[in-house]
Amino acid sequence: MGSTPTRTLPLATTATHGLSRWLPQSWPTRFFLLVTLAEAVADISIEAVLLSRYKEQQGSIELSALPVFVMVFALAHVYQCFLAFDTVVNRNLILVVGLNVFNLAFLIYAIIQISEIRDVLGDGVIQGTSQTVPVQVLTGAIPAIIGCTSLVLSILAWFLWKEFGWQIYKTIGADRNLKRAHLQYQIYVCLLKFDFFTFTAFCLQLVLVVLKNDTAERVITILALPVCLLLLVFAWYACRHEIKWGMGVFMAGQLGGAGYFSYKLYRIWSEKEGQYKEVYKSLTVFSVLALALLFATALVSIRCLLNFDMGLKGAMTRSAAQEAQAKHNHHHQAQYSHGTSAMSISAPYGTKGMLPLRSNSTLGLERTNNPRLSLD
C-alpha cells in the first residue's frame, strides 16, 4: 500500500516571509536606512583612523579624552542606526524629525571635536610614518559628511512624512483630538529615547575621564545608568497604559535629574581648569542638552497626562490587535498558498508513480493500488 501524500512548506520561503515584515518596503524607507548606515560607516572609519594615530603617538590607548570622544561618537552612530531601523519598522513619524535633529547635534559635536583632536594629534602627518592624509583633512571630513547627510535626510523626511501619515490615520482615525493626543504621545516616546542616550553619553565621559580616582561617585554614576533605563521604560509604560500615579513618579524623577545636571554643570565650570579640563566643553554640551530634553519631556508629560481617558489607549490597543490579526492572516494565507502548490509524494502508489493530486482537486477519486492520473 502506498503512503499518503504529504505537503511540504519550504523553510526558506517561510523564513523569508517572516523576515520581510522587518524590512522596509518603499524606496524612501530603504534609502533612509541606507543613508544612515553609510554615514555611520564613513564617520566611524575616519574616527578609527584618528584613534590608530593616537595609539601610534602614545604607544597605547589610555582612557583619556580623545579615545572617549571617539567612543561616544561611535556609540551615537550605532544608536542612530538603531533608531532609524525603529523608525521604518514602526513607521514613527516623530522619530523621523527627531533623527534629523539628532544628526544636527552630531554636527555640533563634530565641530567641537576638531580642536580637541588637533590639540592632541597636531596638524598634517608625522614624518617617517605611513600616514598620507593630514589630520585637518580627516577632522574636516566628518562635519562635511554629517552636513551632507543632514541635507539628504531632511529631503527624505518629506517623503516619509507623507508615507507615514497614512499609518496615523489607520491607527487613530479622523478624530482631531485623538490625532493631537497621539502626536503628543509619539513626541513623548521619542524624547524618552533621546533622554536615555544623552544621559548615557554624559555618564560615560564622566566615569572614564573625570572620575578615575573618585571611587564613590564613580560607582554611583555607573549604578545610575540601569536605574535611568528602568525609569524611562516605566515612564513609557505608565503613559501607554494611562497610569496617573506612574506619571507622577516619573515627573518627580525628572526634577531630580534636572537638579543633578544643574549641579554637574556648575561643577564643570567651577573646576574647568582642574579635573574637568580635558572634557569640560563636551560635558557642557551634554549637560545643557540633557537639561533641555528634561524640560521638553516634562512639558510633554503634562500634556500626555491631560490626554488620559480621551480614548487614545483604546484606539491604540484596537489598532495593534487589528494589525497583529492582519499579519497573522497574511502569514497563514502565505503558508496555505505554498502548501497547496508544493505537494510531494513520499512513496509511489503500487509499483508505478503518478502525478501529484492536489488536496483542493475537484476530483474526489479514492485511492487504490492501481495507478491513476490526476486531471488537475
What are 21-74's pLDDT values in tens digits? 556 678 888 899 999 999 999 999 988 888 887 777 765 555 567 788 888 888
pLDDT exceeds cutoff 90 at 189: yes
Looking at per-residue pLDDT, the higher value among 32 and 2 belongs to 32
Of 79, 303, 109, 73, nearest to 196 (Cα)?
A: 79
Q: Tell me if 203 sits within 8 A of 225, measured CB to CB.
A: yes
Q: What cell does 76 get?
A: 551615537
The pLDDT assigned to 353 comes to 46
What are 104-134's pLDDT values in tens digits? 888 888 887 787 777 777 766 555 455 667 7
What are 264-319's pLDDT values in tens digits? 899 888 887 777 777 788 888 889 999 999 999 999 999 999 998 887 777 777 76
* Residue bearing cell 525628572: 254
The pLDDT assigned to 305 comes to 93
10 Å Cβ neighbour count for 171?
Answer: 19
Q: Tell me if 117 sits within 8 A of 66, measured CB to CB.
A: yes
Looking at per-residue pLDDT, the higher value among 240 and 346 belongs to 240
Q: Which residues, including other chains, have CB under 8 Å from residue 225's CB and lie 6 or more apart?
A: 199, 200, 203
Name the E strands within the chain. 6-7, 343-344
The pLDDT assigned to 214 comes to 64
Question: Residue 96: is it exposed, middle or buried by C-beta count within 10 angstroms (0-12/13-18/19+)?
Answer: buried
pLDDT exceeds cutoff 80 at 256: yes
The b-or-e profile of 47-77 (16+ CB within 10 A means b, else e) is beebbebbeeeeeeeeebbbbbbbbbbbebb
The pLDDT assigned to 339 comes to 55
> What number is the average pLDDT over the span 164-172?
67
Looking at per-residue pLDDT, the higher value among 281 and 155 belongs to 155
Q: Which residues, including other chains, have CB under 8 Å from residue 337's CB and lie 6 or more apart?
A: none
Q: Tell me if 179 sits within 8 A of 172, measured CB to CB.
A: yes
Q: Which residues, including other chains, have CB under 8 Å from residue 322's CB and lie 6 or more apart?
A: none
> What number is the average pLDDT over the span 132-156?
87
Mean pLDDT of the chain: 77
Q: Tell me if 187 sits within 8 A of 300, measured CB to CB.
A: yes
